[in-house]
Structure 1
Amino acid sequence: MELGIGMFGDQHINNKGEVQSTQQRLQELIEEIKLMDEVGLDFFGIGEHHRPDYAVSTPEIILAAAATVTKNIKLGSAVAVLSSSDPVRLYQSYATIDLISGGRAELMVGRGSFIESFPLYGYDLKDYDALFEEKLNLLLEINKAERVNWKGQFRPALVNQEIYPRPVDNHLDIWVAVGGTPESVLRAGKHGLPVIFAIIGGNPAQFKPLFDYYRKVYEHFGHDAKTLQVGVHMHSFFGENSKQVAEAYYPLYAAQMDRIGRERGWHAYQSQQFENGRGPQGHLLIGDANEAIDKILKMEELFGLTRFSAHMDVGGPSHLSLMKSIELFGTKIAPKVREALANKQQ
């Protein structure tokens, strides 16, 4: 199972409501990715947003910069909002990162839970599903062959068009990120694409039917079960002492949940939600190394994971605390998880 980190580039917001500068957050982010590589984590993913509280609107720029200061870690989007992007340009960008990094780039696409990119790039939200379906099909066609003939509804046709550059081995790994809808699971399974589930609320066990459905669809459409890849993305933050890290992190986490919640009509975030999420049946990995090891192994056993992604910067925790969390993940948590899984296979 691959172990890595996802981030959105959350900017720290102090108790006066002052937002950290984008320049500072981007510079910190490169340092954090470099540390992830140094401590041996398998992958890093960065999300796309177009809001004042997130520093990253173009993940490919961050990943290209990170490619020059890392050696082994996979670098990808988490996610690229495919519905409001041009698949041709997106593919070219990630092929370029793949070449710079020596074959370490991957592309994770999704429909987007934030919708700011749609009006920004001139798309209508009423086409939300149709845009993703069409653009995913084109993206996959480009990945199959450098010369493409294609016609769709939302962009001009491609007639015998060659698309360059091509990635290392002439192929990009393309993942699909899904929430909790069977339609998204069906689409990914039909195409035989790796899928990652965002589990950011409730009891993770409630997602088990969707994992089972994905495997059923994947095999139904003739894809080799041995090549199936499936992962989870869960809010995570690690410290030496469980109680202390929870107490320090809660105000930042709750503030971010409330900022988003006000836009979406959610109730104010409560401390009991946080504690329930941190519990054995919860969706949060916020605590010490032993708690994280136990919960990651539980997720692997429950879902048969090939990837676990710790979403680590929700609410904009400080750079120093993020560096500590990354260090703990790479040096204490990941080795124990790998050891346990290796023993399980013997």
Structure 2
Amino acid sequence: MELGITTFVETTPDVHTGQTISHAERIREVVEEIVLADEVGLDVFGVGEHHRKDYACSKPAVLLAAAASRTKNIRLSSAVTVLSSDDPVRVFQEFATVDAISNGRAEIMAGRGSFIESFPLFGYDLQDYHELFDEKLDLLLKIRESEIVSWKGKHRASIQNRGIYPRPVQEPIPVWIASGGTPESVVRAGVLGLPLVLAIIGGSPLQFAPLVDLYKRAATQAGHDATKLTVASHSHGFVANNLDEAVEQFFPPTQQAMNVLAKERGWAPYTKQTFDHARSLEGALYVGDVDTVAEKIIFLRKNVGITRFMLHVPVGSMPHEQVMHAIELFGTKVAPIVRKEIEEWEQENK
């Protein structure tokens, strides 16, 4: 069971003061958060790509490269790379560079992107949303497989027998498929034999168990060993010294950030009732003290089949010291509980 952290490098107004941290300061804070996550023994840290004012990181590879030289063991991933609006050649080159700096710890998490600001920014038509991803994923995987590439597509210039450099330390460098939970996306990941990341941020995580089964069936039918494929979740959460403290610190900024998205996307308002329901054992919010968060992750592993869990913290801007404390608790307290129980459970079920 792998455990890690994801962030979107948020720069939303502080819910108490109304002040907004600068992009530069928040980027520096995230580097410190990655360093701490490495020090407390977490397995992976993922950084999301966005192109809007309330998220500071538009190039995860650059931020991850800064952290690579200051860490020793933690894996460094995008979360996600919006592959549809990027150039697969540049994506590969950037992460191969991170892989070199980190000596083999880089990963690419490729997705279509639930945020669409990058499409008009880089001149892509949203009507090509699905086609762009399929085509660019095909090119990325061809570059990963071969140093010399010949390729022809519709939305990017063709490549004729050209070398793509640098090559990564890892051969092949891991490429994950990020999915919001559609059957089509999990089948694609299974057919390609790629690890799968599910954004489990609402409803009941148990609803994702059939998708994990579908993914494994698709992989098996395509000739892959499904037992060797990793299924990850990315879920909102926060760990504090006790439950009351966790709720008091995490709910206000989360509500503020979620209601901005709710207004943009036509969702229902995010209420305290919504929050409290999601904190239940079968809810998708991992907020509470050490034992509560550990129990929910163990429940997810046993009932959904998740083998890598990534806690997304924070959702809306929070004081850096609170985020650092949550990461410390997650690595030093939550992770040992989860790893021990899952190891014992797997031994019993062999």
**TM-score when normalising by structure 1:** 0.98
CA drift at 1:14:
2.2
Quote the residue 1:115 is aligned against: 116
Aligned residues of 2:255 and 2:271 also touching (Cα < 8 A): yes
Quote the residue 1:13 is aligned against: 13
**Distance in 2 between the 1:17 and 1:113 partners?**
27
Quote the residue 2:151 is aligned against: 150
Report the 3-state secondary structure (helix = DSSP H, G, I; strand = E; otherwise coil) of the residue aligned with 1:338: helix
Aligned residues of 1:142 and 1:163 also touching (Cα < 8 A): yes
CA drift at 1:12:
4.4
CA drift at 1:186:
1.4
Aligned AA for 1:151?
Answer: K
Worse-matched range after superposition: 7-16 or 71-80: 7-16
1:189 equivalent to 2:190? Answer: yes
**Distance in 2 between the 1:192 and 1:75 partners?**
21
Cα root mean square deviation, aligned: 1.0
**Distance in 2 between the 1:169 and 1:115 partners?**
31
**Distance in 1 between the 2:170 and 2:180 partners?**
31
Worse-matched range after superposition: 239-248 or 39-48: 239-248
Report the 3-state secondary structure (helix = DSSP H, G, I; strand = E; otherwise coil) of the residue aligned with 1:309: strand
CA drift at 1:52:
0.6
Aligned AA for 2:2?
Answer: E
Quote the residue 2:2 is aligned against: 2
5+ residue gaps in structure 1? none
Correspondence list, 1:70-109, <5 A: 70-109=71-110
Aligned residues of 1:203 and 1:281 also touching (Cα < 8 A): yes
Aligned residues of 1:109 and 1:175 also touching (Cα < 8 A): yes
Report the 3-state secondary structure (helix = DSSP H, G, I; strand = E; otherwise coil) of the residue aligned with 2:248: helix
Can you list the C-alpha shifts for 1:70-99, whole angstroms capped at 9, x where unaligned? Answer: 010000100000000000000000001001
Quote the residue 2:177 is aligned against: 176
Report the 3-state secondary structure (helix = DSSP H, G, I; strand = E; otherwise coil) of the residue aligned with 1:170: coil
**Distance in 2 between the 1:322 and 1:14 partners?**
14
Q: 1:345 to 1:204 in 2, by over 3 A?
A: closer
Worse-matched range after superposition: 127-136 or 7-16: 7-16
Identity of aligned residues (%): 51
CA drift at 1:18:
3.1
Runs of 4+ in 1 over 6 A off after TM superposition: none
Worse-matched range after superposition: 220-229 or 14-23: 14-23
Aligned AA for 2:137?
Answer: L
Aligned residues of 2:68 and 2:98 also touching (Cα < 8 A): yes
Quote the residue 2:268 is aligned against: 267
**Distance in 1 between the 2:206 and 2:326 partners?**
26
Aligned AA for 1:327?
Answer: E
5+ residue gaps in structure 2? none
CA drift at 1:266:
1.3
Correspondence list, 1:200-215, <5 A: 200-215=201-216
CA drift at 1:248:
2.1
- Count matched residues: 346
Can you list the C-alpha shifts for 1:89-114, whole angstroms capped at 9, x where unaligned? Answer: 00000001001100000100100000
**Distance in 2 between the 1:309 and 1:284 partners?**
12
Correspondence list, 1:51-66, <5 A: 51-66=52-67
Report the 3-state secondary structure (helix = DSSP H, G, I; strand = E; otherwise coil) of the residue aligned with 1:323: helix
Quote the residue 2:312 is aligned against: 311
CA drift at 1:169:
3.8
Report the 3-state secondary structure (helix = DSSP H, G, I; strand = E; otherwise coil) of the residue aligned with 1:314: coil
**Distance in 1 between the 2:323 and 2:21 partners?**
15
Aligned residues of 2:14 and 2:318 also touching (Cα < 8 A): no
Can you list the C-alpha shifts for 1:215-240, whole angstroms capped at 9, x where unaligned? Answer: 11010100012321111111010001
**Distance in 2 between the 1:267 and 1:73 partners?**
37
Aligned residues of 2:12 and 2:257 also touching (Cα < 8 A): no
Aligned residues of 1:109 and 1:174 also touching (Cα < 8 A): yes
Aligned AA for 1:232?
Answer: S
**Distance in 2 between the 1:180 and 1:145 partners?**
30
Q: 1:118 to 1:345 in 2, by over 3 A?
A: same
Aligned residues of 1:12 and 1:316 also touching (Cα < 8 A): yes
Worse-matched range after superposition: 134-143 or 259-268: 259-268
Can you list the C-alpha shifts for 1:94-144, whole angstroms capped at 9, x where unaligned? Answer: 001001100000100100000000000110000000000000000000000
Quote the residue 1:141 is aligned against: 142
**TM-score when normalising by structure 2:** 0.97
Report the 3-state secondary structure (helix = DSSP H, G, I; strand = E; otherwise coil) of the residue aligned with 1:308: strand
Worse-matched range after superposition: 103-112 or 220-229: 220-229
**Distance in 1 between the 2:232 and 2:323 partners?**
22
Aligned AA for 2:248?
Answer: E
Quote the residue 1:239 is aligned against: 240
**Distance in 2 between the 1:248 and 1:344 partners?**
33
CA drift at 1:306:
1.8
Worse-matched range after superposition: 213-222 or 13-22: 13-22
Q: 1:255 to 1:169 in 2, by over 3 A?
A: closer
